[in-house]
Amino acid sequence: MITIIPAIDLIDAKCVRLSQGDYNQKTVYNENPLEVAKMFEDAGITRLHLVDLDGAKAKHIVNHKVLELIASKTRLVIDFGGGLKSDDDLRIAFESGAQMVTGGSIAVKDRETFLHWIETYGPEKIILGADAKDKMIAVSGWQEVSELSILEFIESYTSKGIRQVISTDIARDGMLTGPSIDLYKEIMEKFPNLGLIASGGIASMKDIYELDEMGIPGVITGKAIYEGRISMEEIKKYNLNGL
């Protein structure tokens, strides 16, 4: 059964969503992220994807107090990402209650540091962020598209022990147009044992069922929940009864 992982994106310690990573297309959904996290927990959710968008912009961790609050007031397993660039950032994230961290741009731009994190903390605590545009890896808040293909990029880290990968098709993120099925099929065919977490474009429970049928282990959804396309009741029912 696929694991539903809601996303909370943070700007100014508020729960927001961007469209295609554009800070100018920002919607504030709730000024109290803890309230949102507790709502997820009440629906039987066990994991949370917490993204520090201020940190992504500042290139260092910013919203660690929100992380600490949610980690101390819920039982959610939190993976935290956004702007993690240094050993100190990682230390703060883990000390604030993150059980896992996600690194994307740093895995492209500073491979040595990212490999050091895998060796230091273990691959169960480090998630590879593989965000792509036309199957090429994008970095720096999706402002730059690299010359690395997504499959080459994933392979370069699975060979170093990485087990979990969050893959977002940028063109679909926040657009509610459905997930990038073909991309995920391609990834799963090449890496059948990968803990792939699909992200971007989820518009309804139907999309989640389709990913589940493909054998995708996890799915991140944000806007569909905040816009009421997926209700807490649907998630609760799913978590209790499966499909």
User: What pairing do the DSSP bridges indicate for beta strands 136-139 and 47-52?
Assistant: unpaired
The token pair at 27 is 């919607």
Q: Which two tokens stand for residue 137?
A: 């890896």
Q: Which of 9, 169, 173, 207 is catalytic?
A: 9
User: What φ, ψ does residue 129 adopt, rounded to 5°?
Assistant: -90, 115
| From 131, 169, 207, 212, the catalytic residue | 131
How many Cα atoms sit within 13 Å of 68 on the Cβ side? 10
Nearest-angstrom CA–CA distance, 25 and 19 = 6
Neighbouring C-alpha atoms within 13 Å toward the C-beta of 155: 9
Length of the chain measured in residues: 243
CA distances from 120 to 53, 108, 115, 123, 243 (A): 25, 18, 9, 9, 38
Cα 138 from Cα 129, distance rounded (Å): 10
Burial environment of residue 142 by CB neighbours within 10 A (0 to 12, 13 to 18, 19 or more)? buried
126-133 and 164-169 beta bridge pairing: parallel
Does the annotation count 9 as an active-site position?
A: yes
Task: Specify whether the CB–CB gap between 168 and 199 falls below 8 A.
Answer: yes
Contact in structure between 184 and 149 (CB atoms under 8 Å): no
Active site residues: 9, 131
